[in-house]
Each structure stands twice: as C-alpha cells, then as structure tokens.
C-alpha cells in the first residue's frame, strides 16, 4: 500500500511540474490554498495570544534573572567601596597616630605598640575596649594607652595576642592631673553621666578657669611614681564653681579623646622593660 502511494505521489509531482501554469493541478493547488486560507488565519489568531504570552513570560523571566544579577553586582561593589573607605580611614588614623609619636608631645622614655581597637563596649555603661595586641607584643597590665588626642585609658587585662583597655571615663580610674596654665592639681575621675569627667580634690586656694587644659601630672615621690607619664592631654575645663563653704572646686571636664570613634591606639611600653 505504501509503495502505491509513493508511486502516485511521484506521478502527480511529475505531471505538476510539466503542466502549464494554468493546468488542472495548478488550479487544484490554488483552490486548495484558497479553501485552507481561512483556517490558517483562524489558527494564526488563536495562536498569537499564546505566542505573545510565551514571549512576555520568557522576557519577564530573563528580566528578573538580569535584575537579580545586577543587584548582586551592586551589592558586591558596595561592599568593596565600604571596605576601601574603611581601610582608607584606618590608614589615615594610623598615620596620624605615628605622626604624634614623632613629636615632642610623645612621652619620653617609652616605646609604643600601635594596635587597632577590635571590640567596643556593648553599652554606654561599660567603658572597656579590646585591642589586637597582648603579651607577645610586650604589653603588660597597667600600661598606659593613648592616641594622638591624649589619654585613652589603662590596660587592665592581658592575653596572648589581645588586651582589654579600661577607658578614662570608667568609674574605676583616677588620674592625677595638672592645669597647664595655673599649675593647679587634682584628680580626674568619672563624672555624673556616661562619658563625662570631673576634676576632683582641687583646693579652693588654687585657681582654675573654664577653657584651660588639664594634663597628666606624672608625680614622683620617694621611689614611687604615677602610672601615667607627665604631660598627656586629658581634657578641657568646661565649668568651675566654688562656694564659701566648699573646701574644693567643683570642676567639669570635656575629654579631649573622642571615645566613641576609637580606631587605633598606642600602648606605652617603658624602654627599660625586659620582655
């Protein structure tokens, strides 16, 4: 049966190509095309919405995929920019610290360990930070910590490669201080609120005025000496009052160090220390 159909097809094709353009087979072809044309148009109209819907869906999927890729690229670039800006700030801050080391304001008789702050207080009521240097760098308990602005605090705990620094604003620290202008002396201590300082035990016979700078006194007496080298800036007097019945001045200080933005610090290590 299949062979017969193939034979008939070959015969018809041969006659079609040999027949003049107006022949019967050409007429049948044209008539068939005319009859089928409405069905082609109808099929096209039915299929078009599905084809358009498929194209829209495919475009939407591609757009979402491209959007996700672009968002990922933006996030990656944003993180890189933040990392670069952070590194630049830290580098600039460290350069300022090292510039301070080269000035006459840096305490004599001390080497230093420059180190970043790696952990900050979890709340404003806790006044300790962690640094990325410890025993292996020669740091010991009660070493003084400074930065380019002044006194930061004191090392109170030391581990192999880290240490804890108690800030000047902590209630446990008491620092002997000196007025640069009038030479009045007292003790810098924690103030009434977080991050505030007072200058205590300043006799009424001494003179203290607003706007004057307080530095570490660095006293020595009969073989004993202060933990804090002399001349490290502490803060500026913001208020000083005295009553007739007072024995001491009531003095408020503004710290010179911005404790909320510490990035790098310098730990003072006595040159005479043996590691």
**Mean per-residue pLDDT of the chain:** 81
- Cα angle 87, 93, 95 (rounded to 5 degrees) comes to 100
> What's the pLDDT at 8?
45
Q: Are the beta carbons of 202 and 186 closer than 8 angstroms?
A: yes
Instruction: Determine the Cα–Cα distance for residues 273 and 138; give it in Å rounded to an integer.
Output: 8
Q: What is the CA radius of gyration of the chain?
A: 43
Q: Report the length, in residues, of the chain.
A: 275
- Which is more confidently placed, 187 or 224? 187
DSSP class per residue in 62-119? HHHHHHHHHHHHHHHHHHHHHHHHHHHHHHHHHHHHHHHHTSTTSPTTEEEEEEEEEE
Question: Which residues does 272 contact at the CB level (< 8 Å), separation at least 6?
Answer: 109
pTM of the model: 0.68
Work out whether strand 224-225 and strand 220-221 pair parallel, antiparallel, or are unpaired.
Answer: antiparallel
Three-state DSSP state, 216:
strand
Average pLDDT over residues 232-250: 91
Q: How far does Cα 202 stand from its chain's mean position?
A: 41
Does residue 164 surpass a pLDDT of 80? yes
Q: What is the dihedral sign for C-alpha 197, 203, 151, 190?
A: negative
Confidence of residue 83 (pLDDT cuts 50, 70, 90): low
Q: What is the pLDDT of residue 19?
A: 53
| pLDDT value, residue 6 | 45
Q: How confident is the model at residue 88 (pLDDT cuts 50, 70, 90)?
A: low
Higher pLDDT, 104 or 34: 104
- pLDDT-derived band at 1 (thresholds 50, 70, 90) equals low
The string of pLDDT tens digits covering residues 89-104 is 666 766 788 788 888 8
Q: Which residues contact 173 (CB under 8 A, 6 or more apart)?
A: 153, 154, 166, 167, 189, 190
| Token pair in block for residue 23 | 């022949």
Residue 97 sits at φ, ψ, to 5 deg, of -60, -45
pLDDT, mean of residues 184-200: 89
Q: Could you give the dihedral angle defined by the CA atoms of residues 62, 63, 69 and 72, in that order, rounded to the nearest 10 degrees? A: -150
What end-to-end distance do the CA atoms of the chain give, in Å? 106
More confident of the two residues 225 and 136: 136
More confident residue, 47 or 51: 51
| pLDDT greater at residue 54 or residue 166 | 166
With beta carbons less than 8 A apart as the criterion, state whether 141 and 157 touch. yes
Give pLDDT, residue 11: 47
Average pLDDT over residues 216-227: 83
Residue 66 pLDDT grade (very low, low, confident, very high; cuts 50, 70, 90):
confident
pLDDT-above-70 percentage for the chain = 72
| pLDDT tens sequence across 3-23 | 554 454 554 455 544 555 555
Q: 264 forms bridges with which residues in the sheet?
A: 116
Residue 147 is encoded by which pair of tokens? 């930065």
CB 210 within 8 Å of CB 246: no
What pLDDT digit, counting tens, does each position of 107-144 carry? 989 999 999 999 987 776 679 999 999 999 999 999 99
Distance between CA atoms of 197 and 183, rounded to whole angstroms?
19
């Amino acid at each position: 049966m299949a062979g017969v159909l193939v034979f008939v097809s070959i015969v018809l094709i041969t006659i079609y190509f040999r027949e003049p353009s107006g022949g019967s087979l050409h007429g049948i072809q044209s008539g068939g095309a005319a009859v089928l044309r409405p069905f082609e148009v109808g099929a096209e109209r039915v299929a078009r919405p599905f084809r358009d819907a498929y194209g829209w869906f495919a475009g939407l999927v591609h757009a979402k995929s491209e959007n996700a890729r672009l968002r990922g690229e933006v996030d990656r670039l944003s993180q890189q920019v933040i990392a670069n800006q952070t590194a630049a700030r830290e580098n600039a801050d460290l350069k300022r610290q090292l510039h301070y080391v080269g000035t006459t304001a840096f305490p004599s008789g001390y080497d230093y360990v420059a180190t970043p702050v790696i952990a900050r207080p979890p709340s404003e009521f806790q006044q300790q930070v962690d640094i990325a240097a410890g025993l292996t760098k020669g740091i010991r308990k009660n070493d003084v910590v400074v930065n380019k602005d002044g006194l930061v605090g004191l090392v109170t705990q030391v581990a192999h490669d880290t240490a804890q620094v108690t800030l000047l604003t902590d209630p446990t620290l008491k620092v002997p201080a000196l007025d640069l202008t009038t030479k009045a002396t007292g003790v810098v201590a924690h103030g009434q609120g977080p991050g505030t300082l007072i200058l205590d035990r300043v006799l009424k016979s001494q003179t203290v005025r607003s706007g004057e700078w307080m530095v570490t006194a660095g006293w020595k007496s009969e073989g004993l000496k202060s933990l804090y080298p002399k001349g490290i800036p502490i803060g500026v007097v913001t208020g000083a009052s005295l009553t007739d019945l007072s024995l001491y001045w009531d003095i408020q200080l503004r710290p010179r160090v911005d404790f909320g933005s510490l990035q790098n610090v310098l730990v003072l290590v006595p040159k005479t220390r043996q590691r």
